[in-house]
């Protein structure tokens, strides 16, 4: 879910030596698959001779299982419970705290993949009346914009309207992702 953003940061910081390996984005629908897949990916990377490995996943619903995998292999991951936190920056996310408790977040990725990640899997393309069942407890949609792309913002605005939510845009850029990748590229601490 953050591959495009990792590649953009990699290019911006001139980190040509970094290699990116991705797990399927749909694992976010099944967080129990993240830790075992990451365990296998890290083991493979190590067997391929990679020594400095950084996990670009936040916890993403693994309930700490991803941290156990990282500890097992002696690797670090990006801080945070999810990308919504690290895109805003952990300090900003923590300061917002409970005021965002009823917020449905979208990122550039989720705007690009709105149909594939929400409309079709939830059946909203066939049964839009289900939106109230799925999203009725939310009050606002916050688009955490990594880029200034009017077409992506248009998706977020339409999604807020369809879901009956207030709309807010926060221009976050890459948040804590950029400094985390810069530290990872510098090598072990």
- 122 with 158, same domain? yes
- Would the pLDDT of 183 be above 60? yes
What is the rounded CA–CA span in Å between residue 68 and residue 83? 19
Q: Which alpha helices (H) appear in the chain, and where do they start and end? A: 3-12, 34-47, 65-73, 83-88, 90-96, 108-112, 114, 131-135, 150-163, 177-186
pLDDT score recorded for residue 186: 84
- 62 with 114, same domain? no
Question: Mean per-residue pLDDT for 161-189?
Answer: 91
pLDDT score recorded for residue 58: 94
Q: Which of 172, 168, 28 has its CA nearest to residue 100? A: 168
> pLDDT tens-digit profile of 5-42?
999 999 999 998 889 999 999 998 999 999 999 999 99
Q: pLDDT band for 185, please (50, 70, 90 cuts).
A: confident
- 44 with 107, same domain? no
- 94 with 58, same domain? no
pLDDT score recorded for residue 53: 94
- 108 with 180, same domain? no
**Whole-prediction pTM:** 0.92
pLDDT score recorded for residue 188: 65
- 14 with 73, same domain? yes
Q: pLDDT band for 189, please (50, 70, 90 cuts).
A: low
Number of domains in the chain: 2
pLDDT score recorded for residue 187: 74
- 7 with 69, same domain? yes
What is the rounded CA–CA span in Å between residue 93 and residue 177? 14
Question: Mean per-residue pLDDT for 131-135?
Answer: 94
Name the residue range of residue 117's domain.
90-171
- 158 with 95, same domain? yes
- 57 with 112, same domain? no
- 114 with 78, same domain? no
Question: Mean per-residue pLDDT for 57-65?
Answer: 94
- 45 with 112, same domain? no
Question: Mean per-residue pLDDT for 150-160?
Answer: 97
pLDDT score recorded for residue 174: 96
- 106 with 137, same domain? yes
> pLDDT tens-digit profile of 85-115?
999 999 999 999 889 999 999 999 999 999 9
- Would the pLDDT of 43 be above 90? yes
Q: Which of 40, 8, 11 has its CA nearest to residue 23? A: 40
């Amino acid at each position: 879910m953050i591959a495009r953003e990792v590649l953009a940061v990699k290019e911006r910081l001139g980190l040509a030596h970094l290699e990116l390996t991705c797990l399927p984005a749909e694992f976010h629908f099944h967080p129990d698959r993240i830790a075992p897949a990451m365990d296998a990916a890290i083991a493979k990377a190590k067997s391929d001779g990679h020594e400095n490995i950084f996990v670009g996943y936040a916890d993403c619903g693994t309930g700490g299982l991803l941290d156990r995998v990282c500890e097992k292999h002696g690797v670090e991951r990006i801080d945070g419970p999810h990308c919504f936190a690290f895109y805003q920056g952990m300090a900003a996310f923590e300061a917002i705290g409970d005021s965002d408790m009823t917020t449905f977040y979208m990122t550039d990725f989720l705007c690009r993949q709105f149909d594939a990640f929400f409309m079709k899997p939830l059946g909203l393309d066939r049964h839009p009346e289900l939106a109230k069942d799925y999203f009725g407890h939310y009050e606002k949609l916050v688009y955490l914009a990594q880029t200034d792309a009017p077409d992506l913002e248009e998706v977020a605005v339409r999604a807020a309207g369809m879901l009956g939510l207030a709309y807010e845009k926060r221009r976050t850029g890459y948040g804590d992702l950029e400094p985390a990748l810069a530290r990872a590229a510098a090598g072990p601490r």
